[in-house]
Amino acid sequence: MRKILVTGGAGFIGSAVVRYILEQTRDSVVVVDKLTYAGNLSSLAPVASLPGFAFEQADIGNGPEMARILDTYQPDIVMHLAAESHVDRSIDGPAAFIDTNIVGTYTLLEAARHYWQTLEPVKKQAFRFHHISTDEVYGDLHDSNGFFTEQTPYAPSSPYSASKAASDHLVRAWSRTYGLPVVVTNCSNNYGPYHFPEKLIPLTILNGLAGKPLPVYGDGQQIRDWLYVDDHARALYLVATTGKTGETWNIGGHNERTNLDVVETVCTLLEELVPEKPAGVCHYRDLITFVADRPGHDVRYAIDAGKIARELGWLPQETFDSGMRKTVTWYLSNKAWWQQVQDGSYQGQRLGLAGKE
Ligand code: NAD
For 92-102, the pLDDT digits (tens) are 999 999 999 99
Q: Tell me: the pLDDT tens digits for 94-127?
A: 999 999 999 999 999 999 999 999 999 999 999 9
- Tell me the β-bridge partners of 216: 290
**H or E element, residue 300:** none
Please state, in angstroms and rounded to a whole number, the distance separating the CA atoms of residues 47 and 194. 14
pLDDT at residue 352 tops 80: no
Residues with CB under 6 Å of ligand 1 are: 7-8, 10-14, 33-36, 38-39, 59-61, 81-85, 100, 104, 132-134, 164, 187, 189-190, 196
Q: Among positive and negative, which fits the CA dihedral 150, 152, 155, 156?
A: negative
Task: Check residue 141 and give its pLDDT.
Answer: 86
Ramachandran quadrant class, 114 (left: phi over 0; alpha: psi -120 to 50; beta: rest): alpha
Task: Check residue 297 and give its pLDDT.
Answer: 84
Q: What confidence category does residue 246 fall into, taking pLDDT thresholds of 50, 70 and 90?
A: very high
Mean pLDDT for 67-73 is 98
Report whether 1 contacts 76 (CB < 8 A).
no
Numbers of helices and strands, H then E, in the chain: 13, 12
| Residues found in the chain | 357
Please state, in angstroms and rounded to a whole number, the distance separating the CA atoms of residues 75 and 308. 25
Please state, in angstroms and rounded to a whole number, the distance separating the CA atoms of residues 101 and 104. 6
Q: What confidence category does residue 350 fall into, taking pLDDT thresholds of 50, 70 and 90?
A: low
Task: Check residue 301 and give its pLDDT.
Answer: 87
Q: Is the ipTM of this complex over 0.95?
A: yes
Nearest CA to ligand 1 atom 35: 133
**Measured between alpha carbons, how far apart are the two ends of the chain, in Å?**
23
> Which of 81, 185, 224, 227 for mutating ligand 1's site (highest number of atoms within 8 Å of CB)?
81
Distance from the CA of 41 to the center of ligand 1, in angstroms?
14
Question: From residue 159, how far is each of 10, 34, 96, 102, 166 by CA, in Å?
Answer: 23, 21, 10, 11, 10
| The ligand 1 atom nearest the CA atom of 104 | 18
Report whether 209 contacts 197 (CB < 8 A).
no
Q: Mark out the alpha helices in the chain (DSSP H runs).
A: 12-24, 63-73, 87-92, 95-97, 105-117, 121-126, 159-178, 200-210, 229-242, 259-273, 306-312, 320-333, 335-342
pTM, full prediction: 0.96
Q: Which domains does the chain have, with CATH numbers?
A: 3-191+226-254+298-318 (3.40.50.720)
